[in-house]
Structure 1
Amino acid sequence: MSTKPLLFKNARLVDPDTGREDKGGLLVRDGVIQDLGPQLSEAADADVIDCGGQVLSPGLIDMRAFIGEPGGPYRETLKSAGEAAAAGGVTTVVSMPDTSPALDDPAVIDFIVRRARDTSIVNILPAAALTKGLKGEEMAEIGRLKEAGAIAFTDGARSVTNAQVMRRALTYARDFDALIVHHVEDPNLVGQGVMNEGEFASRLGLPGIPREAETIMLERDMRLVRLTGARYHAAMISCADSAEIVRAAKAKGLPVTCGVSINHLSLNENDIGDYRTFLKLSPPLRHEEDRQAMIEALIDGTIDVIVSDHNPQDVENKRLPFAEAADGAVGLETLLSAALRLVHSDRISLPKLLRALSTKPAEILGLPAGRLKIGAPADLILFDPDAPYVLDKRQLKSLSKNTPFDEARLEGQVTITMVAGRIVFDRSSM
């Protein structure tokens, strides 16, 4: 890869931080944005990329991805996750602690930091376990884990059901200025449920999961945040009532943010159709009214970020009866294309969509990325938002192919992905 300065010219510059869109150029030097704007002149020592009017924006920051390393490299490695992310325009990935062993020890966090640095072409930042062994019983060592490189604290796909443990964790996190990310789904109310509770589940003969499994846990957490004053992020919400709970908490000034998965913005329970296990997710796909409520909550700012919820599963864990199949779907490579459906349907502007995919995650995580600004890291993507294609899961770079968008017609393809001034993906070289 060239280390020379690089000039992007004839670009549609979209800065989600300010909401500005300009036609112009951007100069990258020494891994950062050195200059940008409509009147940018060419630098004599720079290589030049003619963008042909395509969008140049900050790279996406995905706050929720499950990676199989350590313990399950057949599902996904840090290397393969990085390649999948780069192909999808994701320049920073937050990896969940649901590994074997769990990321609850400073030595394991240090291993992930070093391993990601050595093998991944994008930034992979580990989130440490909130409780030891992800068991929800004893708080992990937040201070030492943060010192080792943990970007946030979460039990990944599990919820902390013990309110006293959660209160203690929030209190310690506040003292260390650490971010708590929580999967809000009460396992006792989930029970044996495998999809959204309602008429469609009854017709399929499948046990349902009530919305209250999410809302009761979320409401409890809002009260604990009010009690402790800690920074809190609900990993994903999926129903209208949850949006109202977060909206009310923000109105009270609580330090609360929340995310939504691209799946819950794009799909509903009816898409499960004839027991499609690639759409068995946690939380489950909800009613169409809930999907519309998620879109409205994104538009009005109640929902802060969109995540891929990338959760690779091998064939053996998915080609089972629906009730027995593992939860999860891959999403790093389709995050942008699926999200652009909201732009193409005129539900949201491109800068506002990209804000939820880059600027806002950067703000929540305390990262300098997510904006087109002089001095900002040159973590950038060049993409054609209108390029049509039909997804073929066999062409995914992820080791697992459990995508809910197989054979879907999508628009928007990444042309170039750059991390710290280095091109890590170039579609023209494929």
Structure 2
Amino acid sequence: MTPVLIKKATIIDKKSAFHNQIVDIKIENGIITEIAKEIASNDDFEVVEKENLHVSQGWFDSSVSFGEPGYEDRETIENGLKVAAKSGFTAVALQPNSFPIIDNQSHIKFVLDKAKNQATTLFPIGALTKNSEGQDLAELFDMKNAGAIAFGDYKRAIQDANIQKIALQYVQDFDGLIITYCQDNSLKGKGIVNEGIASTRLGLKGIPTLAEELHIARNLFLLEYTGGKLHIPTISTQKSIALIKEAKAKGLQVTCSVAIHNLVLNEEILSGFDSRYKVAPPLRDEATRKMLIEAILDNTIDCITSDHNPLDIEHKKLEFDMAKDGTIGLESAFGALLTILPLEIVIEKLTNAKTIFGIAQNTIAENTIAALSLFTPNEEGTFTKENILSKSKNSAFLGQQTKGKVYGIYNNGKLLV
């Protein structure tokens, strides 16, 4: 393991004694051994020097899909983790929406085995119900023992309130975390975009915000009844924010995330009927987008996810109503976020989810494990096809302005810049 010397780096880590200081960082055998204003280099060290270099705790994305097993044409675990590393993420939580669905311990072991010896660490999410069909609970305890960090059915809301209740009660025996996508399918109906003026103007069937909000209200009532821990991913409406804020004030153990595309884009971009912008939950109006940013700033929303979901061209480049929901987002995550949020908030929201999912959060200090993201906040540009590293190219951010640039990561004893 070659020792590494990071030169003249501004540390962004509020918990570190070196926050906002420009320092050199010496890393040996995966451990930060020295932090100082100036550290002499020698031939044994790999030296990292970049323009306006900044370093933070390693970023964690709480929702990525890769495809393997079953959909390797969309993305493999190996390439997906390389994309994550080059995008600045030292860890990702893998959704169970492969084929087969990751709903037992052998599947968990398979994806963990595939992720060995990579710079970015993979943490699997096990399906909450068998085959993510919402009928019977999957082998939650066995998956937890095999390495699953949480349980949820990706983009599939549990319609049966009793299944949701039993899941919340059951996982408390081993301090499990339930992830619940919130959507009332009967209210969604055949809707494909946000219900409102834009959907009417475009002639597209709308999904009322009530479809999300009613399920959030139900699940929060269930959480209050059962106790336990609940994470609500990718919230997208103003009432959802209010409901979660109220639940937190009551002392319920509830956390939530928002997808970057819901923070950066609004429904007006749908006017060209481009299916790259078809996502779940759908893009909302501009007033809601601004409210989501406010909820980030007041900490109602705990973390931000790319909600990275690679899809092949056969399922994405179709008529708008036929296309699958989803966009890739790892490569564009940092650059898109810096256009709407201050740097320290971006870093905080890209690292906060570790605490929610029970993953060690290493402050940048001497004698700690080195898990670092390397970047500059200043560079401005436009996100283009050349920036896409994923096998699938279904990015909603093509043509969008970006700010900042990722240099790479140091993690698991590996430097990738």
Moved more, 406-415 or 389-398: 389-398
Alpha-carbon separation, structure 1, partners of 2:391 and 2:277: 18
SS of the residue corresponding to residue 206 of structure 1 reads coil
- Please give the residue correspondences for 1:237-252 in structure 2 after superposition, counting only pairs within 5 Å: 237-252=235-250
Q: Indicate how the Cα distance of structure 1 residues 370 and 411 shifts in structure 2: closer, same or farther if over 3 A, else same.
A: farther
Name the residue aligned to 1:399. Answer: 391
Cα distance in 2 between the residues matched to 1:50 and 1:252: 48
Among 417, 421, 427, the residue aligned to 2:413:
421
Contact 1:189/1:213, CA 8 A, preserved across alignment: yes
What do residues 240-291 of structure 1 show as CA deviations (whole Å, max 9, x unaligned)? 1111111111111111110000001100111122111101000000011110
Partner secondary structure for residue 99 of structure 1: coil
Matched, 1:380 2:372: yes
Contact 1:258 1:305 in 2 (8 A): yes
Deviation at 1:40, TM superposition (A): 5.3
* 1:228 CA displacement: 1.5
CA distance in 1, matches of 2:171, 2:346: 30
Deviations 1:41-78 (A, max 9, x none): 33665443234432111221000011100110011110
1:184-263 → structure 2 map (5 Å cutoff): 184-263=182-261
Equivalent residue number for residue 145 of structure 1 = 143
For 1:264 and 1:250, the matched residues in 2 are separated by 22
User: Matches of 1:62 and 1:364 in 2, distance apart?
Assistant: 12
Partner of 1:371: 363
Counterpart AA for 1:418: Y
Deviation at 1:373, TM superposition (A): 3.1
The corresponding residue for 2:298 is 300
1:168 maps to which of 160, 166, 169? 166
For the pair 1:72 / 2:71, whether they are aligned, the reply is yes
Identify which range, 362-371 or 56-65, moves more after superposition. 362-371
Please tell me whether the aligned partners of residues 13 and 25 of structure 1 are also in contact (alpha carbons under 8 angstroms): no
CA contact (8 A) 1:17 1:355 kept: no
Q: Is the 8 A contact 2:7 2:23 kept in 1?
A: yes
Q: Secondary structure at the match of 2:391?
A: coil
Mapping of 1:274-353 within 5 angstroms? 274-343=272-341, 348=342, 350-353=343-346
| Structure 2 residue ranges without an equivalent (≥5) | none
TM-score by length of 1: 0.93
Please show how residues 86-97 of structure 1 align to structure 2 within 5 Å. 86-97=85-96
Using the TM superposition, name which of 200-209 and 365-374 deviates more: 365-374
1:154 CA displacement: 0.5
* Structure 2 Cα separation of the partners of residues 371 and 242 of structure 1: 32
TM-score between both structures, scaled by the size of structure 2? 0.96
In the TM superposition, residue 18 of structure 1 has moved relative to its aligned partner by 5.5
Gaps of 5+ in 1: none
SS of 1:117 mapped into structure 2: coil
Contact 2:157–2:183 (CA under 8 A) maintained in structure 1? yes
Matches within 5 A, 1:7-22: 7-17=5-15, 20-22=19-21
Aligned residues: 415
Q: Is the 8 A contact 2:193 2:207 kept in 1?
A: yes
The Cα of 1:395 is off from its aligned counterpart by 4.2
